[in-house]
Each structure stands twice: as structure tokens, then as C-alpha cells.
């Protein structure tokens, strides 16, 4: 099991950001989490990498009880997760190469291992030519690929990407999703949040739909039930 | 391991380069505070050494009554010399003292016609300086003795001065040190905010809290260390200048024991600065660096 949420709630003050959410994701799965802004997608992701604690319920990731981990234990779980957050994607004063290397060096990789891994992930995400460019010199799609490269540099078994296609045109969005599916085919579990209907339709992967802190539907890979159509009408763009 | 150290040092260096004005403010305040503390420490050390050394420098001067004859003076000298606690007794005959006095004042006054007003004087040196007050007390009881002058008054002056320096120096230095600690805390806090992206990236890739906080702690330590090193240099230069000036003004100061060794100041102030800076920065990271 890659991820399991058991009756998880998160409350901000009196408002509930998540209400009794249960979810299981097997190892090797590709899962879209869809929903409008404020549906609870980011809250769900923050729970997975321990940036938020559930008010009640249990969060298990790669066999570890995230809800009960001590702060000093959390980093070691995060090293098994690639995280592409919605905010702070890249460090603006560092080149693409340095951005990817930075994450590896921060967790103790030596220089030769850093050089080797950075070269590998740059090739995987197709950014060899942009390696020496600053984030300000990249297009939106290239910047997002660089952020994904940094997240997978450590070769993690689980990749979590929060809105990686936000503000990207349809073609570039699809390139990003294709990249994520390639990473999934190499064995990593991938969980992606989005509110882009086109790429969800096209990818034909499992879709978990959220609204107002609850899971409305959980459609398996290849399925396309009526509920998803209704959901699109109400919560997706 | 070397790669790890290099990464931490690079991060520290980048932290130091951000907010240069704040860094300068933190370093200069730490420097001023440590100058005051260091200066007070050096002055106290010197005064304490002087207080310890004073009794051996100041012997008791015993002035005999004008009615005492030379024979009585010699008898008293012999009697005192025989006492085990007394090391030496030197007699200065009144006529010798008067001659010296006349020569000394010859340029200003003519004392040739004035009758000698000075008594015979015995200069008593004791073996143990601590016994001087008791010995002086005993000598005072002799019917031949008019007055005994010992160094108790001077000792009291030095001790009072020492107390004054302690309270003023440590009080002002302490307050400034507190201000510099708050400034270092604030500088590190601002650096943490300005490096929020790096902190977040490190946290998300799984860097430990300790390794995220370490560059900021080193930044605080560097501020304290640089402030301390500047303070040590300036304090030693000021002490050397003051020492030259004061000994040229008051010759007796040359007899005082040497002050605090410069190596103690050169090591002590930067070490104190680094320790305080590191603690402050650690405190700031505890509050503002979270994963």
C-alpha cells in the first residue's frame, strides 16, 4: 500500500477543510485528485507529506504512520517521496542544474552522486539544454519539468504533484502529464491534483473527485461513469 | 562528509550575504557590547591584581614623637626588628629627612632659617602583607610613637574603584550585550524569512531540521565571532594606549602588576560572542524554521 487515509478530518478553526476522508492508493498506481479550488486537494497532499496533522483519523504513507511521526522522523519519510508543491517551485537565483542538485545536497548526497543523478533526471525530463539557465529564463512548462526533476532526483517510490499543470497551456499541460505517466511506468506511485478536465479525460487514469473537503467519487482507471460527467459540470473548469 | 560541510558553509555564506545592513548592525552592536564587557573585565582584572599587590608595596611608616630621643628611636628599631613578623625596620633620622625636604623644595622656598619640624621615622616592612594592619596597630600603642601610616586607605580606594568599574562596566556592557543578542536574533529571523524558499525546498526533499537550522546558527555565531574579534582588537589597542598615557602621567602605576594577558582577550571575546550569537540564532530557528 502506498497511501492510506482512514476517516481523516482536518479542521481550520470551525471550518472543516477535510471531513472523514478515506482513501487507499496501491503501489504503482497513477491517481488524479480533481476538484475546484478549496475542495481540499492541497490539504490532502499536505497531510501526505506531514506538513499538516489530521484533527482525527490516520494517515499512512509507504507503511509509515504520518499522523503519529515525530518532527525528527518526518524528513526520512520525505526522502522516499517526491513532492512538487504548488508554491515555491524553484529557487530563482540558482540554475536548473543547481536547483536539482540543491535538493540532493541538502540530504547528504556527495558531489559525484549529485552529478550523476542530476544528469539522469535532466535527460528524463528533457531539460539537458536548459541545465545552465535560471528559472526566469524558462517557459512555464520547462520550469514545471525542472520542479518535477528535483522531486524525482532521489528516485522516490512515491511522487506527489500539486497542480503541476496550473497556468500552462493545453499542449504543455499534456507534456507534463505524459512525463508523470512515464515516471509512473518506471514504477513510482504518482498522485496528481488538477482541475484540468481535458488532461484527466485524455490520461484515462484513476480519478478521485473532491468537493468541500469530501471525496465525491473514486473512478478506477479506464472507467468513465456518469458521476464524473456530473462532477465536471459542478466542480471542474 | 566534506561535501556535507561544504554545503552547510555555502548556505551560511549565502545567509550572511543577504541583509548586509542588518548583518553590519548586529556585528557592530555585538562589538560595542563586547568592548564594554572586555574593557570592564580588563580593568577589573588589573584593579584586583593591584589590590592583591598593594600591601607589599606600601609599608607602614612610623613617625615618632618629637620628644623621643635618638637613643629611644634606635631601641624601638631594635625591638621591632626582633619581632618575627617584621622583615626590616629602617630608621630615617629627622635631620636627614629635613635635608631631603629642603633640597626638594629649594627652588620654591628657602627653608634654611626654619627649625626642623620633622620627627624621626621608622619604615617597617612585614613578612606577610596581611599582618600589616595588626602590626601597625601594635606599634601605634608605643608611647614613643606619634602616628603610623599604612596602606589601608589606599587599599580601600582601589577596592571602591573596583566596585565602581564592576557595576558600571558590567551593567552597561550587559545591557548592550542584551541589545546585540536581540539584534542577532532579529537578523537571523529576517534571513530565515528571506530564505524561506530554500528552507521549504530543504524541508520537502527531506533534509533534517538540524541540517536546515545549522547554517542559520553558524550565521549567528559568525556575527558574534566577528563582533568579538573586532572588540578584542579595539579593546587591546585602547588598553595599550591608555596604559601608556596613564603611566606617563602617574609614575607609581608602573609598579602595578601586569594586566590581563592579551591572549585571554583575543580568545575570550570572540568565543563569548560566538557562543552568544549561536545561542540567539538557535533560539530564532527554533521559532521560525519548521518542517
Task: Tell which of A155, A175, A197 closes a domain.
Answer: A155
Best residue of A50, A106, A148, A153 to probe chain B, by most B CBs closer than 10 Å? A106
Residue A184 structural domain: 1-80+160-237
Q: What is the pLDDT of residues B254-269, one digit of tens each?
A: 667 777 788 888 999 9
Chain A nearest-CA distance from B194, in A, is 12
Are A46 and A141 members of one domain?
Answer: no
Q: Is A154 on the interface with B (CB under 8 A)?
A: yes
Q: Please, which pLDDT band fits residue A86 given cuts at 50, 70 and 90?
A: confident
Cell of B66: 618629637
What share of chain B has pLDDT > 90, as a percent?
19
Q: Is A157 on the interface with B (CB under 8 A)?
A: no
Are A187 and A211 members of one domain?
Answer: yes
Q: Please report, for the domain that includes residue A171, its CATH number.
A: 3.40.50.300
CB contact under 8 A, B208 and A79: no
Which secondary-structure segment (H or E) carries B172? helix B152-194
Are A202 and A215 members of one domain?
Answer: yes
Question: Which range scores top for mean pLDDT: B80-89, B144-153, B180-189?
Answer: B80-89
Are A32 and A218 in contact by the 8 Å Cβ rule? The answer is: no
Task: Tell which of A111, A130, A155 closes a domain.
Answer: A155
Q: Round to whole Å and give the CA distance between B179 and B258.
A: 32
Are A164 and A73 members of one domain?
Answer: yes
Cell of A205: 487514469
Strands A189-194 vs B60-64: parallel, antiparallel or unpaired: unpaired
* Whole-number pLDDT of residue A226: 58
Chain A, window 162-221: residues with a beta carbon less than 8 angstroms from a chain B beta carbon: none
Q: Please, which pLDDT band fits residue A235 given cuts at 50, 70 and 90?
A: low
Give the residue from chain A lying closest to B213, CA to CA.
A106
Chain A nearest-CA distance from B189, in A, is 19
Chain A, window 39-98: residues with a beta carbon less than 8 angstroms from a chain B beta carbon: 49-51, 71-72, 74-81, 83, 85, 87-88, 91-92
Are A149 and A210 members of one domain?
Answer: no
Are B151 and B134 in contact by the 8 Å Cβ rule? The answer is: no
- List CB contacts (< 8 A) between B290 and chain A: 71
Are A5 and A40 in contact by the 8 Å Cβ rule? The answer is: no
Are A170 and A222 members of one domain?
Answer: yes
- List CB contacts (< 8 A) between B291 and chain A: 50-51, 71, 74-75
Chain A nearest-CA distance from B217, in A, is 16
* Whole-number pLDDT of residue A53: 92
Q: What is the ipTM of this complex?
A: 0.85
Q: Please, which pLDDT band fits residue B55 given cuts at 50, 70 and 90?
A: low
Q: Please, which pLDDT band fits residue A114 given cuts at 50, 70 and 90?
A: very high
Q: How many domains does chain A have?
A: 2
CB contact under 8 A, A106 and B209: no
Q: What is the pLDDT of residues B97-112, one digit of tens each?
A: 888 888 877 777 777 7
DSSP chain A: --EEEEEEEEEETTEEEEEEEEEEE-TT-EEEEE--TTSSHHHHHHHHTTSS--SEEEEEETTEEGGG--TTTHHHHHTTEEEE-SS--S-TTS-HHHHHHHHHHHTT--HHHHHHHHHHHHHHHT-GGGTT--GGGS-HHHHHHHHHHHHHTT--SEEEEESTTTT--HHHHHHHHHHHHHHHHTT-EEEEEE--HHHHHHHT-EEEEEETTEEEEEEPTT---HHHHHHHHHH--
Q: Please, which pLDDT band fits residue B228 given cuts at 50, 70 and 90?
A: very high
Q: Round to whole Å and give the CA distance between B177 and B179.
A: 5
Number of residues assigned to chain B: 291
Amino acid at each position: 500500500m502506498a497511501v492510506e487515509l482512514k476517516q481523516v478530518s482536518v479542521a481550520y478553526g470551525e471550518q472543516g477543510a477535510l471531513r472523514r476522508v478515506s482513501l487507499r492508493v496501491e503501489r504503482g498506481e497513477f491517481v488524479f485528485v480533481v476538484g475546484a479550488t478549496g475542495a481540499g486537494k492541497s490539504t490532502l497532499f499536505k497531510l501526505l507529506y506531514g506538513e499538516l496533522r489530521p484533527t482525527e483519523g490516520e494517515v499512512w504513507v509507504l507503511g509509515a504512520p504520518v499522523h503519529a511521526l515525530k518532527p525528527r522522523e518526518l524528513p526520512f519519510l520525505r526522502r522516499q517521496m517526491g513532492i512538487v508543491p504548488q508554491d515555491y517551485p524553484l529557487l530563482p537565483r540558482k540554475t536548473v542544474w543547481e536547483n536539482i542538485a540543491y535538493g540532493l545536497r541538502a540530504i547528504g548526497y556527495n558531489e559525484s552522486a549529485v552529478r550523476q543523478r542530476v544528469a539522469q533526471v535532466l535527460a528524463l525530463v528533457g531539460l539537458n539544454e536548459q541545465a545552465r539557465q535560471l528559472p526566469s529564463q524558462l517557459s512555464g512548462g520547462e520550469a514545471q519539468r525542472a520542479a518535477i526533476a528535483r522531486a524525482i532526483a532521489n528516485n522516490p517510490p512515491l511522487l506527489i504533484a500539486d497542480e503541476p499543470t496550473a497556468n500552462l497551456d493545453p499542449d504543455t499541460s499534456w507534456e507534463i502529464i505524459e512525463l508523470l505517466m512515464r515516471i509512473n511506468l518506471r514504477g513510482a506511485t504518482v498522485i496528481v491534483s488538477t482541475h484540468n478536465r481535458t488532461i484527466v479525460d485524455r490520461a484515462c487514469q484513476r480519478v478521485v473527485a473532491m468537493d468541500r473537503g469530501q471525496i465525491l467519487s473514486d473512478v478506477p482507471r479506464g472507467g468513465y461513469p456518469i458521476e464524473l460527467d456530473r462532477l465536471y459540470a459542478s466542480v471542474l473548469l | 562528509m566534506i561535501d556535507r560541510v561544504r554545503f552547510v558553509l555555502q548556505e551560511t555564506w549565502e545567509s550572511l550575504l543577504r541583509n548586509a545592513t542588518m548583518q553590519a548592525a548586529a556585528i557592530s552592536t555585538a562589538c560595542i557590547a563586547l568592548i564594554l564587557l572586555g574593557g570592564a573585565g580588563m580593568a577589573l582584572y588589573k584593579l584586583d591584581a593591584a589590590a592583591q599587590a598593594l600591601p607589599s608595596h606600601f609599608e607602614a611608616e612610623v613617625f615618632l614623637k618629637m620628644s623621643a630621643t635618638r637613643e629611644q628611636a634606635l631601641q624601638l628599631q631594635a625591638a621591632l626588628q626582633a619581632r618575627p613578623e617584621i622583615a626590616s625596620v629602617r630608621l630615617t633620622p629627622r635631620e636627614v629627612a629635613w635635608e631631603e625636604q629642603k633640597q626638594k623644595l629649594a627652588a620654591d622656598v628657602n627653608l634654611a632659617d626654619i627649625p626642623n619640624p620633622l620627627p624621626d621615622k621608622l619604615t617597617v616592612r612585614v613578612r606577610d602583607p596581611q599582618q600589616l594592619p595588626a602590626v601597625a596597630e601594635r606599634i601605634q600603642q608605643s608611647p614613643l610613637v606619634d602616628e603610623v601610616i599604612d596602606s589601608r586607605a589606599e587599599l580601600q580606594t582601589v577596592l571602591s574603584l573596583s566596585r565602581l568599574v564592576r557595576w558600571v562596566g558590567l551593567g552597561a556592557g550587559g545591557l548592550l550585550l542584551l541589545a546585540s543578542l536581540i539584534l542577532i536574533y532579529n537578523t537571523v529571523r529576517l534571513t530565515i524569512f528571506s530564505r524561506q524558499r530554500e528552507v521549504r525546498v530543504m524541508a520537502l526533499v527531506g533534509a533534517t531540521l538540524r541540517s536546515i537550522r545549522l547554517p542559520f546558527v553558524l550565521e549567528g555565531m559568525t556575527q558574534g565571532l566577528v563582533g568579538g574579534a573586532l572588540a578584542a582588537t579595539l579593546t587591546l589597542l585602547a588598553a595599550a594606549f591608555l596604559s601608556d598615557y596613564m603611566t606617563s602621567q602617574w609614575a607609581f602605576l608602573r609598579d602595578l602588576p601586569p594586566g590581563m594577558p592579551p591572549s585571554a582577550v583575543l580568545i575570550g571575546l570572540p568565543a563569548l560572542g560566538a557562543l552568544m550569537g549561536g545561542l540567539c540564532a538557535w533560539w530564532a530557528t527554533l521559532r521560525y524554521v519548521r518542517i
